[in-house]
């Protein structure tokens, strides 16, 4: 059976970690693509990871390139290309710059990998994934944004840290945008089936929610130069693996809603089923009045950012 091909557009910190995880999990051969100015760097990353393989015994092939025609035959295309957020910079500041980049990427993916499943990671996520969808003309099930998978992992992490219980047993869901307007559904969070409200005080739960909403900014401040890369890479690969192995995972993802949750024609964070058909379904949760209002606020922010794209 032919090995799957995973193409990474953007070979920065996240791209390098994704390449390593993909190789370690033997999910498929990996292509790392970036601009000609840094072609040597991505070729170096690919060769460096090739030399990790003997230690663990996996035979995945990795290569670096700046030539978009090398995308040919890619099963999954993961887009992290774009300018990263720097301290003091809002996600919206990034829009103008990253819109130009995603337009070029979308046209090339459409040309060379028209049958691929595309995971967009570049910020501001809600607008960039929408832009890719519009420019590429891809069907909605084959375009998805990675935000909720990461926000969810952060929510689970902070619950485990606060309760002192295994992160493996924490189940929860985050909806909405990627940023301060995200909506962690604390009402549904549990540890091994025990409701979070039975384990922690409301004050502690509120503090966790605030920390989840500001988790990206917290890391930007701590790093001082750059943003998170280990955790986003793992979240991205969780989505890619669900697609490649037809796992039917329910992963909070930035998917196109056509009436679900009162959103029509916008990509927002929702519980999505990811399998061989891409985003196979958006699951609808019965929200409380307060949660609906919070999601409504997210949608307003998404609409405003999307309008700024002019697409």
Could you identify the residue written with the tokens 């950012």?
305
Q: Which of 75, 77, 178, 233 is catalytic?
A: 178
Q: Is residue 178 annotated as a catalytic residue, yes or no?
A: yes
Q: Report the greatest alpha carbon distance in the chain.
A: 55
Q: What whole-number distance in Å separates Cα of residue 223 and Cα of residue 15?
A: 18
Which of 158, 104, 151, 107 minimizes the C-alpha distance to 126?
A: 151
- 187 beta partners: none
Long-range contacts of 299-304 (CB under 8 A, 24+ apart): 299/176, 299/261, 299/262, 299/263, 299/266, 299/268, 301/126, 301/177, 301/179, 301/181, 302/126, 302/127, 302/177, 302/263, 302/266, 302/267, 302/268, 303/266
> Tokens standing for 102?
């995603």
Phi-psi region at 246: left, alpha or beta (left = phi > 0; alpha = psi -120 to 50): left
Catalytic residues: 178
């Amino acid at each position: 059976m032919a090995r799957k091909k995973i193409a990474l557009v953007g070979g920065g910190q996240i791209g390098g970690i994704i390449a390593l995880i993909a190789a370690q999990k033997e999910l498929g051969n990996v292509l790392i693509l970036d601009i000609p100015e840094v072609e040597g760097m991505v070729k170096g990353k690919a060769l460096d990871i090739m030399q990790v393989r003997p230690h663990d015994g996996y035979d995945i092939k990795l290569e670096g390139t700046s030539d978009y025609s090398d995308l040919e035959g890619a099963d999954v295309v993961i887009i992290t290309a774009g300018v990263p957020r720097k301290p003091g910079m809002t996600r919206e500041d990034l829009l103008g710059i990253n819109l130009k980049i995603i337009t070029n990427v979308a046209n090339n993916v459409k040309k060379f990998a028209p049958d691929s499943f595309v995971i967009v990671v570049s910020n501001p996520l809600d607008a960039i994934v929408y832009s890719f969808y519009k420019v590429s003309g891809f069907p909605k099930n084959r375009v998805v944004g990675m935000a909720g998978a990461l926000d969810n992992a952060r929510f689970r992490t902070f619950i485990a840290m606060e309760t002192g219980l295994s992160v493996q047993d924490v189940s929860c869901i985050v909806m909405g945008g990627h940023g301060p307007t995200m909506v962690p559904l604390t009402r549904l969070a549990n540890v091994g089936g025990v409701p979070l409200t039975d384990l922690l005080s409301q004050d502690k739960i509120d503090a966790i929610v605030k920390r989840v909403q500001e988790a990206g900014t917290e890391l930007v401040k701590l790093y001082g130069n750059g943003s998170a890369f280990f955790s986003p890479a793992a979240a991205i690969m969780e989505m890619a693996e669900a697609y490649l192995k037809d796992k039917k995972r329910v992963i909070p993802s930035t998917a196109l809603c056509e009436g679900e949750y009162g959103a029509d024609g916008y990509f927002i964070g929702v519980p999505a089923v990811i399998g061989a058909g891409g985003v196979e379904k958006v699951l609808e949760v019965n929200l409380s009045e307060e949660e609906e209002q919070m999601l409504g606020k997210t949608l307003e922010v998404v609409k405003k950012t999307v309008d700024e794209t002019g697409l």
